[in-house]
A and B are shown apart, each in its own frame.
Chain A
Amino acid sequence: EVQLVESGGGLIQPGGSLRLSCVASGFTVSNTYMSWFRQAPGKGLEWVSVFYTATTIYYADSVKGRFTISRDDSKNTLYLQMNSLRAEDTAVYYCARGRPNYGDYFLWGQGTLVTVSS
Chain B
Amino acid sequence: EIVLTQSPGTLSLSPGERATLSCRASQSVSSNDLAWYQQKRGQAPRLLIYGTSNRATGIPDRFGGSGSGTDFTLTISRLEPEDFAVYYCQQYSGSPSRYIFGQGTKLEIK
Contact = CB atoms under 8 A, between A and B. Distances in A.
Of B37, B99, B102, most A-chain CB atoms within 10 Å: B99
Contact of B45 (A45, A52, A103): A45
B44 to A, nearest CB: 4
B45 A94 contact: yes
Contact of A99 (B45, B50, B103): B50
Interface in B30-58: 32-35, 37, 39, 44-47, 50-51, 56-57
Contacts of A109: 44
Contacts, number: 69
A81 interface: no
B100 interface: yes
A85 B31 CA distance: 36
A7 to B, nearest CB: 14
A105 B47 contact: yes
Contacts of A46: 101
Contact of B35 (A44, A60, A104): A104
B5 interface: no
A16 to B, nearest CB: 25
B50 A106 contact: yes
A16 B35 CA distance: 35
Interface string A66-105: 0000000000000000000000000000100001011111
Contact of A47 (B33, B47, B101, B103): B101
A103 B101 contact: no
A62 B101 CA distance: 15
Contacts of B39: 45
Interface of A: 35, 37, 44-47, 50, 52, 58, 60, 94, 99, 101-106, 108-111
15 contacts: A44-B102, A44-B104, A45-B39, A45-B88, A45-B104, A47-B99, A101-B32, A102-B32, A102-B92, A103-B92, A104-B47, A104-B56, A106-B47, A106-B50, A108-B45
Name the 6 nearest CB pairs between A and B, nearest first: A103-B92, A104-B35, A104-B50, A103-B33, A47-B99, A108-B44
